Structure 1
Amino acid sequence: MYRVTKDLETGKILLDADNLKLIAEGEGRGLIIMDAPLDLVQNQPPERLLSDFLRKEKIPFGVAYATKGFDSGDISRILLDDKTTMSEFLETNKEATAFFDDIIYEVFGFVADSGKNKITHIMSTGGKLFDSAKEVVSAVRENCDVYIASGDDYANLNRVADKLGISKENVIGLCDDIRKEEIILDLQNHYPKVIMIGDGLNDMPALLAADYGILISRSNYHSPEELRDAADDIVDDLGECTELLQSYILE
């Protein structure tokens, strides 16, 4: 995924941004993902307030990741006086979606700071499937049920599921790190082994809880030591997971 983030305090555009690292650098910050249809966002008047858009269009949203001192209830309080407009999303979306030719994934979100009582950053993401994604899913499907659990919205996740042949019943969106851990723990009540593949800070509790956790560590993602320690194995690319998964499944 290619993320484009705008710092509303400086006006600076951050290309290929690591939003989880941005959240982790301070207390009281939350990354909020909107479950909003792409065409609805793109057709908004630029001057429309984000708060008005969320309220009147009844847009669901979730906290993908947050640090100590942030509560989901802070979002409504922050939005009461916030003056962020939809033009910020249109600007970042244009940059994010131009990066890949075969894009299937477009996510919109923002960073809410409870200490500053305002939205500090706007984020748009453009994404495509890993080149090896279909191969990895096909390799384990005979012996495993495959689930998607993500902080992103359901519309995008369901498109990914369609491409990979994963049942939409196995798609759980708008998950924060705690919800991902809960999903792992619940699946362990139904399966003898539960494997987790993740790539970010909001995957750490789930990697720890899983019977076997694999971290995809990439150069443009923040992978602190505690995240790396949470995994049983670390790879640089999803394609490297096939052999590891088959070996673990057949143990």
Structure 2
Amino acid sequence: MKKAVVFDNSGTLIERYRVIKDVISGNLFTDINSLDLIDQTDSLALVVLQYNTNKLMDLDSNTLLSDVIKEYDIDFDVSFTNFETTKEDVKEILYNENSAIISDITDGFPILREKVPHMQLCNGSAVILDMDVGIIAYTITSAGKLFDGVIDTVSELKSQGCEIVLASGDRKGAINRLADMIGVKKENAHGSISTRGKCEIVKSLQDDGYKVMMVGDGLNDVLAFKQADVSVLTIEQQEEVSPKLMDKTDYIVESIKEVKEIDF
């Protein structure tokens, strides 16, 4: 039987560093899991901006994010939420929000540079919308570096005949670059994928005759875990794992290197 391994990115292949800013209070956090934050509510939505965040440094830091999104026609995708919403509903808020400014994203840059002096991959920026109130409640800036052994693990799985697929909620440009770095075909690199979208990728592979292993670390992997023939939870990021995920996985690994040893 054909086999495929679907990898999440951030926290799974990439050691993730993120800065979350509370737009209202101005506080910066580096120890909050954005997915856990959203999972506690029925009004928050994680929205990934398809834009090279570094370009914001060339703009006036007091410019409204809504004005930047409109002027540069920045595309976006809803990556994680606990309720049904539409792109039009999200667009309405993003285009008219009048509190979040560029510095709410760029304020996190110095912290990221300190954490990751030689950043291999900038995942970019995202916002967390409060859909009930109609505001950008939080901004997220993230960056990272490959976990040790990622390239060797992918190479070994490919030598075993496995098809390698990336399915991540992170920015599409970052996922395409990651695919180049670790030797994954561009057509197998899927960025800005929602929780349901990851599940659909697994199902599509199964429909094509593949036995599928899903490897991930967060709540946005839970539906793909349930759909996959084999699910693997990585805890290499060393963050607290939601109980919702712990009981939905077949294997728990402390290093990505252990994935190539799993027989499926």
- Tell me the TM-score normalized by structure 2: 0.88
Partner in structure 2 of residue 32 of structure 1: 47
Partner in structure 2 of residue 96 of structure 1: 112
> Can you list the C-alpha shifts for 1:51-110, whole angstroms capped at 9, x where unaligned?
111111111111111112654433223231332111111111232233113312222011
Contact 1:104 1:128 in 2 (8 A): yes
Q: 1:87 aligns with which of 103, 122, 141?
A: 103
Partner in structure 1 of residue 9 of structure 2: none
Looking at structure 1, the residues matched to 238 and 34 of structure 2 have their Cα atoms a distance apart, in angstroms, of 11
Is 1:127 the equivalent of 2:144? Answer: yes
Contact 1:200 1:222 in 2 (8 A): no
The 5 A counterparts of 1:5-20 are: 5-20=20-35
Looking at structure 2, the residues matched to 102 and 125 of structure 1 have their Cα atoms a distance apart, in angstroms, of 14
Q: 1:61 aligns with which of 51, 76, 89?
A: 76
Structure 2 alignment gaps of length 5 or more: 1-15
Looking at structure 1, the residues matched to 24 and 172 of structure 2 have their Cα atoms a distance apart, in angstroms, of 30
How far does residue 181 in structure 1 lie from its aligned partner after superposition?
0.6
Looking at structure 2, the residues matched to 147 and 97 of structure 1 have their Cα atoms a distance apart, in angstroms, of 29
Higher mean C-alpha displacement, 23-32 vs 94-103: 94-103
Partner in structure 2 of residue 214 of structure 1: 232
- Residue identity opposite 2:107 in structure 1: E
Q: 1:145 aligns with which of 153, 163, 172?
A: 163
Q: 2:254 aligns with which of 207, 214, 236?
A: 236
- Tell me the TM-score normalized by structure 1: 0.92
> Can you list the C-alpha shifts for 1:124-169, whole angstroms capped at 9, x where unaligned?
0011111110111011002111111111112111221111011111
Q: 1:42 aligns with which of 50, 57, 66?
A: 57
Is 1:200 the equivalent of 2:218? Answer: yes
Residues 150 and 34 (structure 1), Cα distance of their counterparts in 2 relative to 1, 3 Å cut: same
- Residue identity opposite 1:92 in structure 2: G
Is 1:158 the equivalent of 2:176? Answer: yes
> Can you list the C-alpha shifts for 1:190-233, whole angstroms capped at 9, x where unaligned?
13311110110000000110111101125653422221122111
Structure 1 alignment gaps of length 5 or more: none
How far does residue 187 in structure 1 lie from its aligned partner after superposition?
0.9
Looking at structure 2, the residues matched to 160 and 186 of structure 1 have their Cα atoms a distance apart, in angstroms, of 22
- Residue identity opposite 2:261 in structure 1: E
RMSD: 1.6
Residues 191 and 222 (structure 1), Cα distance of their counterparts in 2 relative to 1, 3 Å cut: farther
Looking at structure 2, the residues matched to 183 and 243 of structure 1 have their Cα atoms a distance apart, in angstroms, of 23
Higher relative contact order (Cα pairs below 8 Å, separated by 6+ residues): 2
Partner in structure 2 of residue 169 of structure 1: 187
Is 1:117 the equivalent of 2:134? Answer: yes
Name the % identity: 28
Looking at structure 1, the residues matched to 189 and 199 of structure 2 have their Cα atoms a distance apart, in angstroms, of 15
Partner in structure 2 of residue 223 of structure 1: 241
